Amino acid sequence: MSPGPEPATGRVLVVDDEKPLARMVAAYLARAGHDVAVVHTGPEAVEAARLRAPDVVVLDLGLPGLDGIEVCRRVRRFSSCYVLMLTARGDEDDVLAGLDAGADDYVVKPFSVRELVARVAAVLRRPRTALPAAAPVRTVGGVVVDLGAREARVDGVPVALTPTEFDLLAALTAEPHRALSRRHLIDAVWGPSWVGDERLVDVHIGHLRRKLGGAPAAVVETVRGIGYRMAVR
């Protein structure tokens, strides 16, 4: 019987001022094979992200020194790592502010540590998803998506996208002109097991639209009651 695929592992930075929780999360992640570092304040988080270049940052919103939103904003200036935000706050405005600052996803406390580890593993598998032998380069209007290099260009100019924004663009350009539901996009980007508020998609689509800016002849359209589509003008 052939062994199953090796689990995806990577560098993970855990940032939480609740030290027992941070240690527990780190222990589970380390047991899953990840290289894990733990810090407990906002300034430490920014410095550790810069020095360690993590693949994933598990980031609490409520931190001393700098809150998680400001940490995320600063990390986004130099890193496209995946940011999974932890929040104990019930106000959805805090969640939206974190996503607007550049977080990719969020988990509300209290949460299952096993679920958190599964989410980290899922995102680490993303860039390693098997592609065709010759990874296609898609062109929709003035938008070029190079799946092999994981790069996007608009009118020949590279566009800096987070991994989540790139994956959304890849899903949209895979079926141009077709209206794709939010659930379809969640399954393609976050995975079928993801559970949460589907408006997460709307926030990331907003970021993607701004970054594509004046893409000639192409636009991400809202399809009322369904979701989104990549259209050519």
Q: Per CATH, is 11-128 categorized as 3.40.50.2300?
A: yes
pLDDT digits 0-9 by tens, 162-218? 888 999 999 999 988 899 999 999 988 888 877 677 888 998 999 898 888 865 556
pLDDT digits 0-9 by tens, 24-83? 999 999 999 999 999 999 999 999 999 999 999 999 988 999 999 999 999 998 998 999
Please compute the mean of the pLDDT values over residues 94-123 and round it to a whole number: 85
Whole-prediction pTM value? 0.74
The predicted pLDDT at position 130 comes to 41
CA distances from 183 to 61, 189, 200, 208 (A): 26, 10, 11, 18
Map residue 192 onto helix, strand or coil.
coil
Amino acid at 191: G
Angle subtended at Cα 17 by Cα 16 and Cα 21, rounded to the nearest 5 degrees: 65
Q: Are 191 and 154 in contact (CB under 8 A)?
A: no
Q: State the fold for domain 137-232.
A: Arc Repressor Mutant, subunit A (1.10.10)
Map residue 232 onto helix, strand or coil.
strand
Domain segments of the chain: what residues?
11-128, 137-232
Query: What single-letter DSSP state applies at residue 41?
Result: S
Q: Are 31 and 25 in contact (CB under 8 A)?
A: no
